[in-house]
Amino acid sequence: MKDVYPSRHHGPAAALPRLEPCAWQPWSADAPLTRQQYDQWCRDGFLVLEGLFSAEEVALFREELGRLSGDTRLLARPEAITEANTGALRSLFAPHRHSPVYDALTRDPRLLRLARFLLDDEVYIHQARVNFKPGLSGKGFYWHSDFETWHAEDGMPRMRALSASVSLTDNTPFNGPLMLVPGSHRTFISCPGETPARHYEQSLKAQQLGTPPAEFVQQLCTQGGIRQATGKAGSIVLFDCNVLHGSSENISPLPRSNIFFVFNSVRNSLRRPYAAPAPRPEYLAARGAPEALREASPDYAALVAAASPLPEAVGS
């Protein structure tokens, strides 16, 4: 299959035009977005939706986060990525595989309807992760396009995927919120360099390869500006797979913890990596025949109660 988004092929960096629509169907009155939100999505490549989840639901998601981040077996697995400088937990990949609460969240209509509408297809989870970004020491994520990595290293053919980041803590101007470049989703930056074997063992701590050279970051930021995706806990940031984004380190005392779900069209499932010696592990990129997600409105309180460790029996 012709690689329409060549990157990391030894050649110089280049700006290529996006070939896919930003939204895969026109707006209609029964869309899960207002016309204004739809137009903003197409123009900018991202959308902040406030107050999607209640304070009670966020508290339940946080309780589950505490359970997972305290699970020593899980922390010893490769899905747990630590900060290079402090060893603190930086990201936990595939949290939905280790949590019935987060697995249910992937089927919550408030997320699933948006993904299915904008991608105009059945969808599955390509990747999920919690980025913890702890207070005082949480490191940042340099400017990048997720699609560049998912295309080069996972074999994602086309731009028909989006991320939904659910804020589990307030995302303020001070604790390293996501920064996005409006309109950058319409340009694919073909990056220089060659993907080494097992690149993810380094890139998930601090990505250097597959990031656009400075002049391209400057050009896209000059054209579109930079927007901080701030919002209260319970808000979400929807962003296109190719929008240029990053986040600064967090030196505030407050953590900036978000859970990200990447919804991919079932027609866009992974092929062989376009620019890497071998596919990345399943916890980074779901492979094989995709199974379309079915909507469900779960009882998060019951799921959290069932998942939480039983209190030590008295006198045990």
Binding site for Fe ion (CB under 5 A): 146
Q: Count other Cβ atoms within 10 Å, centred on residue 212.
A: 26
Q: What are phi and psi of 222, to 5 degrees?
A: -65, -40
Check binding of 141 to ligand 6CS (CB under 6 A).
yes
Contact present, 297 and 108 (Cβ < 8 Å): yes
Nearer to ligand 6CS, 37 or 269 (CB): 269
Q: How many CA atoms lie within 13 A of 222 on its CB side?
A: 6
Is residue 151 a contact point for ligand 6CS (CB under 6 A)? no
The option from ligand 6CS, Fe ion, none interacting with 186 (CB < 5 to 8 A, set by class) reads none
Task: Pick from 79, 83, 146, 170 the residue near ligand 6CS by CB under 6 A.
Answer: 146
What is the smallest separation between the CB atom of 141 and Fe ion, expressed in angstroms? 6
Interface with ligand 6CS by CB under 6 A: which range of 13-21, 36-44, 101-109, 142-150? 142-150
Q: How far is the CB of 310 from ligand 6CS (least distance, A)?
A: 33
Give the orientation angle of helix 300-307 with respect to helix 55-69, to 10 degrees. Answer: 20
CA dihedral 58, 226, 216, 81 (to 10 degrees): -20
Nearer to ligand 6CS among residue 38 and residue 151 (C-beta) = 151
Q: Which 182-211 residues touch ligand 6CS, going by CB under 6 A?
A: 203, 207
CA distance 169 to 151: 30
DSSP state of 44: H
Which residues contribute to the site for ligand 6CS (CB under 6 A)? Answer: 127, 129, 141, 144, 146, 149, 203, 207, 284
